[in-house]
Amino acid sequence: MSLIKNHIIGLVNAGKREDGRGYLEYRKPIKIEYGISAKSAEGSARVCIGDTEVIAGIKMEIGTPYPDTPDQGSLQANVELLPLSSPEFESGPPSIESIELSRSVVDRGIRESRAVDLKKLCIKEGEKSWIILIDVYSVNDNGNLSDAIGLVALAALKDAKFPKYDKKTDKIDFKEHTEQVKLKKIPIPITVFKIGSKYLIDPTINEEKASDSRLMITTTEDGEICAMQKGGNSQLSVEDVEKMVEIAIEKGKELRKLL
């Protein structure tokens, strides 16, 4: 066990954190900026939680609906962990971590909550529908990328507008936009970490590495759980999961107000 990990565990066991926060406090400030790339995306946003920074862009295109959902459009999510944001990230094919963040945090949370009505993305049943592409990029990783990524994806969707589509000519005018993308729900992912017997949110890099396990829980306004993802090497008891879910619901309310 490294000296840093021993130090973090010692602090947590003593009721402290390395930056002086409480166990369930987010770093300040939490910043959400909309429309950072208005000319190159249909929607965009930047989120900073402390020194952790991520950006997201929304692109839209027209494709063919899936055979099993001919009356629906689709969502696709991609997370790029850029080497400039952390020495641990490398160029090349998507890493396991980036795939996990894409599928569990962005795609599953938004899809399973039905935040976007996919039927309203249908243009002509069985033939044409809108495809919403969510691309998220890490700018600086100082811990808790998962919550920042979940937040920035929602912020970019809230900022997004459909480009003008001419059904007669079958052409899209990306310079002109029409209606806003409507979100029926705001699914907020909260990742709760466990170090020893203590539960923490928004860990720093050192705290992440010292944690025994983590549970990412995405909830909606009414407290409904729409996605969960377990990480870390240690097991979680039923009591652990119940407490972590309780924390996620309460902290989700806090972050939802910021959007």
- pLDDT tens for 148-194 read 999 999 999 999 999 999 888 889 999 889 899 999 999 999 999 99
Find the mean pLDDT for residues 191-218: 95
| pLDDT band, very low/low/confident/very high, at 133 (cuts 50, 70, 90) | very high
- Both tokens of 239, joined, read 């009591």
Tell me the CA distances in angstroms from 49 to 13, 15, 78, 221, one per residue in order.
Answer: 25, 22, 20, 21
Position 1 scores a pLDDT of: 53
Position 208 scores a pLDDT of: 93
What type of residue sits at position 27?
A: R
What is the C-alpha separation between 80 and 227, in angstroms, rounded?
21
Find the mean pLDDT for residues 196-206: 94
β-partners of residue 59 are 133
Can you give the C-alpha Rg of the chain in angstroms? 19
> Where in 91-197 does DSSP place strands (E)?
122-124, 128-140, 161-166, 171-180, 188-195
Place of tokens 């480009």: 163
Residue 143 has pLDDT above 80, yes or no: yes
Cβ-contact 129, 62 below 8 angstroms: yes
Position 52 scores a pLDDT of: 97
Q: Closest Cα partner for 107 from 250, 255, 226? A: 226
What is the C-alpha separation between 6 and 19, in angstroms, rounded?
16
| pLDDT band, very low/low/confident/very high, at 122 (cuts 50, 70, 90) | very high
| pLDDT band, very low/low/confident/very high, at 245 (cuts 50, 70, 90) | very high
pTM (2 d.p.): 0.93
| pLDDT band, very low/low/confident/very high, at 93 (cuts 50, 70, 90) | confident
| Mean confidence (pLDDT) of the chain | 93
- Both tokens of 49, joined, read 């939680």
Find the mean pLDDT for residues 1-8: 83
Please state whether beta strands 74-80 and 52-63 pair in parallel, antiparallel, or not at all (unpaired): unpaired
Percent of the chain's residues with pLDDT above 70: 100
Position 5 scores a pLDDT of: 87
The CATH number of 3-258 is: 3.30.230.70
| pLDDT band, very low/low/confident/very high, at 4 (cuts 50, 70, 90) | confident
